[in-house]
Chain A
Amino acid sequence: MENNEDNYLMLSGIQHFRFCQRQWALIHIEQQWAENVKTIEGQHIHEKADQPFIREKRHNKLIVRAMQVRSHELKTTGICDVVEFIEDEQGIELINEEGKYIPVPVEYKRGKPKAGQEDIVQLVAQAMCLEEMFVCDVPKAYLFYDEIKRRVEVEITNELRDEVRFIFKQMYNYYDRRHTPKVKPGKHCKSCSLENLCLPTLIDSTPVRQYMERFL
């Protein structure tokens, strides 16, 4: 049970959880949005099936797309859009490759950098998976935003690693209890794709009993 990867939480969920715990629960516990998440995962898997470990080699880089990753510590599995293996003296050896490399995850995002940390924690979780799988340090990673057409470097600090551990612990706590947190409405609801399901504004409406008694 413990190490059965089928039961691991989806890595991409950490961005939902960081954005809004309820959104995460609606998607990952209640599967209210399952098909969308699956579609995204499906595309990744498709890509992967199409080009299993096709690696582009460019100068000092080895580029691997749609790479499946996991961490037994975090108990999560997911897919990295792109992992670049950069040649580096400080790096590690890879089977069938000359030289030493450091893995660097790159996550592609629609839009522009967000005010919240949801993209960052997802990237850090990916980095932690790579650290565990390759037994090495992953000191930095990138987020690529298509609106600004630029990469943003993220340093993988110990604070961020601790935060990711903490978030996964919370996620497992909710998951084991199948608990969907109550609404905490806020600005973020405006950009939430589940707003119609969640109905965040209902929170301040009248108690149902009172509403019914008005019709007596």
Chain B
Amino acid sequence: MRKLLNTLFVTTPNSYLALKGETIVVTAGEDHLGQVPLHNLEAICTFGYMGASPKLMHACAERNISLTFLSTSGKFLARVVGESKGNVVLRKTQYRLSDSTNESAKIARNFIFAKVANQKWILERMTRDYPMRIDVPAFKKISATLSEYLQEILMVQDLEILRGLEGQAANHYFRCFDQMILQQKDDFFFKTRNRRPPTDNINALLSLAYTLLAKDVSAALENVGLDAYVGYLHRDRPGRASLALDVMEELRGVIADRFVLKLINKKIITGKDFFAKENGAVLLTDEGREKFINAWRERKQEPLTHPYLKEKINWGLVPHAQAMLLARHLRGDLEEYPPFLWK
């Protein structure tokens, strides 16, 4: 399995990135903020965007280092993609299957199956770990409902029905979300998911976690030669990384949601780390973002055994593993796409 290299997060707004020899140099105005060799980087992710030199973009594209630009609040802006790996055969297969709603449904079904299964096990895990803090019968009931959805999802051949089931399952799962917040209840409460812009602390955290995850998944897909923009569950829409969103479905809960809950329950992030804008949008402070990113980086280093590959990897490599498995299914080596199922 490939090695997980470092991700360089540049969080100082208005930083400029340039190439110097084999290193990346980060400056802000007259200030020299740092210099890092490229060879042990896998990704560069910047918040607040003065820009990067074309020469650096070139070097990143050549070395397969993903370079992503996010706004200060963590909203995705752009990503530098090099000349695509010449894997025409694989991409054509990807497109061909995407053109057929029937074939798309078969692949999409496995993304959604895993999404719901993982949500179910997040709930189950909570009842086991905190039986004194949460309403176990209520959780069990919802878990049982999710099990019924899982049975149904396995039979579905139709994208619309699949999306419907996914939406209903998500409603049930998010109904439990507020109860999984075990600390700092005054500052963190979950009512519904809101995004544009997030208007409470939890949604601000979820949005940032989803953005970082989407960026990792996109890079992993492009890395194995797939086109992150052509998906199965998410249909083509200009500028939308549909396939990345597809693969993300199964990872949202286990990677992003659990991460956000942990930040709150372990009090790594507190109410002081946020501020509200005039329009009601809630943003992380610079310091809060720093904490978030450090924890995200640490999380990526934590080990697990991949449920299908049965191989020990880091959480950070899960998107790569799934991208590889998807490519492998598209090439016809695996009869179905094995999604990431967590227990």
Residues in A lying within 8 Å of B, measured CB to CB: 29-32, 34-35, 178, 180, 182-183, 196-197, 199, 202, 205, 207-209, 211-213, 215-216
Residue with the greatest number of chain A CB neighbours at <10 A, chosen from B114, B224, B334: B334
B90 at the interface (CB under 8 A from A): yes
Q: How far is the CA of A199 from the CA of B1 in the complex (A)?
A: 9
Which 8 residue pairs of A and B lie closest in terms of their CB atoms, listed nearest first?
Answer: A208-B336, A31-B86, A215-B117, A208-B338, A215-B341, A34-B86, A30-B89, A31-B87
- Pick 27 A–B contacts, CB within 8 A, sort by A: A30-B89, A31-B86, A31-B88, A31-B225, A32-B87, A34-B85, A34-B87, A35-B85, A180-B331, A197-B324, A199-B309, A202-B328, A205-B309, A207-B335, A208-B308, A208-B335, A208-B337, A209-B335, A211-B308, A212-B110, A212-B113, A212-B117, A212-B338, A215-B150, A215-B341, A216-B147, A216-B150
Collect the chain B residues with CB atoms within 8 Å of residue A30's CB: 87, 89-90, 225, 331
Contact assessment for A209 and B336 in the assembled complex, using a CB-CB cutoff below 8 Å = yes
Q: How far is the CA of A32 from the CA of B91 in the complex (A)?
A: 12
Report which of A29, A34, A196, A209 forms a contact with B2, defined as CB distance below 8 A: A196
B333 at the interface (CB under 8 A from A): yes
Q: Which residue of B lies closest to A196 (CB)?
A: B2
Q: Which residue of A lies closest to B64 (CB)?
A: A35
Contact assessment for A183 and B335 in the assembled complex, using a CB-CB cutoff below 8 Å = no
B310 at the interface (CB under 8 A from A): yes
Interface size on B, residues (CB 8 A): 36
Q: How far is the CA of A163 from the CA of B225 in the complex (A)?
A: 33
Q: How far is the CB of A198 from chain B (nearest CB, A)?
A: 9
Q: How far is the CB of B126 from chain A (nearest CB, A)?
A: 17
Q: How far is the CA of A15 from the CA of B309 in the complex (A)?
A: 30
Q: How far is the CB of B326 from chain A (nearest CB, A)?
A: 12
Q: Which residue of A lies closest to B147 (CB)?
A: A216
Q: How far is the CB of B99 from chain A (nearest CB, A)?
A: 18
Known: A34-B86, A211-B338, A211-B341. A216 touches B151 (CB 8 A): yes
New A-B pairs, 16, CB < 8 Å, besides A32-B87, A208-B336: A30-B225, A34-B86, A34-B87, A180-B89, A180-B331, A182-B333, A196-B1, A197-B324, A199-B309, A207-B336, A208-B308, A211-B338, A212-B113, A212-B117, A212-B154, A212-B339
Collect the chain A residues with CB atoms within 8 Å of residue B333's CB: 182-183, 202
- Mark B317-339 against chain A: 1 for CB-CB distance below 8 A, else 0: 00000001000100111111111
Q: How far is the CB of B7 from chain A (nearest CB, A)?
A: 20
Collect the chain A residues with CB atoms within 8 Å of residue B88's CB: 31
B240 at the interface (CB under 8 A from A): no
Q: How far is the CA of A144 from the CA of B334 in the complex (A)?
A: 41
Collect the chain B residues with CB atoms within 8 Å of residue A35's CB: 85
B39 at the interface (CB under 8 A from A): no
Collect the chain A residues with CB atoms within 8 Å of residue B89's CB: 29-30, 178, 180
Q: How far is the CB of B84 from chain A (nearest CB, A)?
A: 10
Q: Which residues in window 215-240 of B have CB below 8 A to A? A: 224-225
Q: Which residue of B lies closest to A33 (CB)?
A: B85
Contact assessment for B341 and A32 in the assembled complex, using a CB-CB cutoff below 8 Å = no
Contact assessment for B90 and A212 in the assembled complex, using a CB-CB cutoff below 8 Å = no
Q: How far is the CA of A182 from the CA of B332 in the complex (A)?
A: 9
Known: A31-B85, A32-B225, A215-B117. A208 touches B334 (CB 8 A): yes
Q: How far is the CB of A93 from chain B (nearest CB, A)?
A: 42
B343 at the interface (CB under 8 A from A): yes
Report which of B87, B308, B343 forms a contact with A205, defined as CB distance below 8 A: B308
Q: Which residue of B lies closest to A182 (CB)?
A: B333
Q: Which residue of A lies closest to B3 (CB)?
A: A196
Collect the chain A residues with CB atoms within 8 Å of residue B154's CB: 212-213
Q: How far is the CB of B89 from chain A (nearest CB, A)?
A: 5
Q: Which residues in window 1-20 of B have CB below 8 A to A? A: 1-2
Q: Which residue of A lies closest to B117 (CB)?
A: A215
Collect the chain B residues with CB atoms within 8 Å of residue A183's CB: 333
Collect the chain A residues with CB atoms within 8 Å of residue B1's CB: 196
Collect the chain A residues with CB atoms within 8 Å of residue B85's CB: 31-32, 34-35
Q: Which residue of A lies closest to B307 (CB)?
A: A211
Q: How far is the CB of A10 from chain B (nearest CB, A)?
A: 13
Q: Which residue of B lies closest to A209 (CB)?
A: B336
Contact assessment for B341 and A212 in the assembled complex, using a CB-CB cutoff below 8 Å = yes
Q: How far is the CA of A56 from the CA of B40 in the complex (A)?
A: 42
Q: How far is the CA of A34 from the CA of B341 in the complex (A)?
A: 32
Q: How far is the CB of A174 from chain B (nearest CB, A)?
A: 12
Q: How far is the CB of A157 from chain B (nearest CB, A)?
A: 36
Collect the chain B residues with CB atoms within 8 Å of residue A182's CB: 333
Collect the chain A residues with CB atoms within 8 Å of residue B110's CB: 208, 212
Q: How far is the CB of B182 from chain A (nearest CB, A)?
A: 26
Q: How far is the CA of A213 from the CA of B114 in the complex (A)?
A: 11
- Mark B77-98 against chain A: 1 for CB-CB distance below 8 A, else 0: 0000000011111100000000
Q: Which residue of B lies closest to A178 (CB)?
A: B89
Q: Which residue of A lies closest to B118 (CB)?
A: A215
Q: How far is the CA of A215 from the CA of B113 in the complex (A)?
A: 9
Collect the chain B residues with CB atoms within 8 Å of residue A209's CB: 335-336
